[in-house]
Amino acid sequence: MTDTRRTVSTLLQRWATERPDDEAVRFGPTRRTWAQLDERVRRVAAALRAEGVGPGDRIAVLDLNHPSCLELTLACARIGAANAVVNFRLAPPEIVYVINDARAVLLAVGPEFTPAVEQVKDLLPTVRRVLHVGTESSGASIGTESSGARTSIGTDEYEAWLGAHEPDAAPYDAAPDDCFVQLYTSGTTGFPKGAMLTHRGMLSHAEHVAHDFELAPTDVVQVAMPLFHVGGMSYALLALGQGARIVMARTPDPAALLDMFADERITHTFLVPALMGAMTQVPDAAARDYSSLRAVSYGASPCPLPVMRASLALFGPKLHQVYGMTEACGVVSSLGPADHADPSVAHRLVSAGKPIIGVEIEVRDPETGAPVPTGGPGEIWVRTEQLMSGYWDKPDATASALTGDGWLRSGDGGHIDADGYLFVTDRIKDMIVSGGENVYPAEVERVLAEHPSVGDVAVIGVPDERWGEVPKAVVVAAPGQHVDPDALLAYCREQLASFKCPKSVDVLDELPRNPTGKILKKDLRKPYWDGRERRTV
């Protein structure tokens, strides 16, 4: 028997039955009740079935934040399919890779990305239909009342497409461990991996985080982060889990989001530190009304202490620093307001806090898997019902990440102090976290190595006051070649998403290596990180 309490479809039906007239989603001028959202999702489910989408299939969405992405995700949950949400910041070759890796049979695309899809549509053999969502292409503030910008919601093909179908009558008999949303993480081998996130995982995450944030059905959740990011999608589903109202921003415009706090009486939000820093610099930011806010959570990249202090001054002691990962549906540990506000434990501000309810965290020896003593360094392991079921179509990568007894090897290094606080101090996998986006050096190195002037290359993360850290390329010229750093950076911008592109290039005669030939990236990083704390949050 299916555990109906652990599926997204039955949860949506619950709110539609118990609270049909309460508002569920707000996006600019658009307002939808729980009953309306449920009906629309059932129409989308029927439309997907009519397109031949069935259990185990993938669709894809390439768009800025829009209610249609949430509706498509919930409709996939209803029919046993999964939505592979594409990072819209990717370069066209990367977009092609993700869509083809997912074998998406339908692609929903927003107006800003139609030209890119037109360029690559012949390279997408599994896509049977491209569905255009919306008709207006406009600025960064779409989806906020204060911006004055408006977008036509659900016009063009999408609205007519769902409106042509009667609501789906009965949901697919989904199992709790069925995948319904697939989010891509950058790959250590140079290619992204699709983390398969399940009903059990996402609803467990919603339950655990709601407990930590004291989220109630009467609360109002701002979804500011992109829905392709776990910080956007899981936050929207966090609200769904409790029946709280979702207020979605099309893009994270700092001033518009601040205005939204007062206009929409936001109680909970999730931000990345770069956005928080920008918000503290908005003119008259301190003059706005933040009295409704109860939890401002932040994470996904290192938070410079000046940004943290400015945010405390602006919002007050409402900050929750969170540490998590896509593979765990989002948050696994949290540093709450009490630790932010207490100067006697100021050293904890560079920690990732303690595990949230429902999550176990241990630090293990990365070679043997044995637990290390308190305070000892090692790899962070996580065990919780929130974990992904695996990486789509990558059994070897899944086996490397998930153990037989239910632990996820995070790839992050750190330690746990005597008080139980987690400190994330290194990246075992050399991942760079820049402005909330994961950048794996292997991806960037793969592109740089194809440039004719490059003979050898390493990519490292170096400190940046705005983004926490940014990629730097360290290269050796190929025999008989001269490296032009500006030309190399321009080449990267053609091949990679902007956040993955190195911001600077150093040219060396040779790269430092150990006796077995492995590049010593710690030696390359050392001059830049001396006296600084480098960590993932």
pLDDT computed for residue 535 by the predictor: 45
Q: Which of 389, 416, 443 is the last residue of a domain?
A: 416
Please state, in angstroms and rounded to a whole number, the distance separating the CA atoms of residues 384 and 528: 36
> DSSP class of residue 519?
B
Please state, in angstroms and rounded to a whole number, the distance separating the CA atoms of residues 185 and 92: 17
- Do the Cβ atoms of 271 and 407 come closer than 8 Å? no
pLDDT computed for residue 136 by the predictor: 43
354 and 445 both lie in a single domain? no
Q: Are β-strands 23-27 and 245-248 bridged in parallel, bridged antiparallel, or unpaired?
A: parallel
For the entire predicted model, the pTM comes to 0.84
DSSP E strand stretches across 417-467: 422-427, 432-434, 437-439, 454-464
| Secondary structure (DSSP) of 325-375 | EGGGTEEEEEE-HHHHH-GGGGGGGGS--EEPTTEEEEEE-TTT-PBPPTT
> DSSP class of residue 168?
P
373 and 466 both lie in a single domain? no
**Rounded to whole angstroms, what are the CA distances from 24 to 36, 43, 265, 482?**
9, 17, 14, 59
- Do the Cβ atoms of 9 and 42 come closer than 8 Å? no
Which of 398, 397, 426 has the alpha carbon at shortest distance from 412?
A: 426
Tokens for 375?
Answer: 């305070």
218 and 357 both lie in a single domain? yes
> How many structural domains is the chain composed of?
2
pLDDT computed for residue 392 by the predictor: 98
377 and 517 both lie in a single domain? no
349 and 383 both lie in a single domain? yes
Q: What is the CATH number of the domain that holds 343?
A: 3.40.50.12780
Tokens for 119?
Answer: 């360029």
> DSSP class of residue 464?
E
Please state, in angstroms and rounded to a whole number, the distance separating the CA atoms of residues 295 and 297: 6
Within a domain: residue 536? no
Please state, in angstroms and rounded to a whole number, the distance separating the CA atoms of residues 73 and 60: 10
Within a domain: residue 427? no
Residue 400, SS3?
helix
Within a domain: residue 308? yes
Please state, in angstroms and rounded to a whole number, the distance separating the CA atoms of residues 347 and 305: 11
Q: Report the amino acid identity of residue 136.
A: E
505 and 400 both lie in a single domain? no
- Do the Cβ atoms of 413 and 426 come closer than 8 Å? yes
Q: Which of 384, 416, 448 is the last residue of a domain?
A: 416
Within a domain: residue 537? no
Residue 148, SS3?
coil
270 and 159 both lie in a single domain? yes
297 and 441 both lie in a single domain? no
Within a domain: residue 339? yes
Which of 248, 255, 197 has the alpha carbon at shortest distance from 227?
A: 248
- Do the Cβ atoms of 463 and 423 come closer than 8 Å? no
How do the pLDDT tens digits run along the chain, 537 residues long?
334 457 999 999 999 999 999 999 999 999 999 999 999 999 999 999 999 999 999 999 999 999 999 999 999 999 999 999 999 988 888 899 999 999 999 999 999 999 999 999 999 999 999 999 985 433 333 233 333 333 344 348 999 999 999 999 988 989 999 999 999 986 555 688 999 999 999 999 999 999 999 999 999 999 999 999 999 999 999 999 999 999 999 999 999 999 999 999 999 999 998 899 999 999 999 999 999 999 999 998 778 778 888 999 999 889 999 999 999 999 999 999 999 988 888 888 889 999 999 999 999 998 899 999 999 889 999 999 999 999 999 999 999 999 999 999 998 888 999 999 999 876 676 778 888 887 878 789 889 988 999 988 999 999 998 898 999 999 999 989 999 999 999 999 999 999 999 999 999 999 998 655 678 888 899 899 887 765 433
151 and 222 both lie in a single domain? yes
Please state, in angstroms and rounded to a whole number, the distance separating the CA atoms of residues 318 and 312: 8
Within a domain: residue 425? no
Burial class (CB in 10 A: 0-12, 13-18, 19+), 314: middle
Burial class (CB in 10 A: 0-12, 13-18, 19+), 166: exposed
| Domain around 506 | 432-529
Quick one: angle between helices 305-315 and 273-280, nearest 10? 60
For residue 380, what are the β-bridge partners?
A: 363
> DSSP class of residue 269?
E
- Do the Cβ atoms of 182 and 58 come closer than 8 Å? yes
Within a domain: residue 512? yes
Within a domain: residue 189? yes
43 and 79 both lie in a single domain? yes
50 and 96 both lie in a single domain? yes
Q: What is the CATH number of the domain that holds 477?
A: 3.30.300.30
258 and 333 both lie in a single domain? yes
Please state, in angstroms and rounded to a whole number, the distance separating the CA atoms of residues 487 and 89: 22
Q: Which of 416, 442, 457 is the last residue of a domain?
A: 416
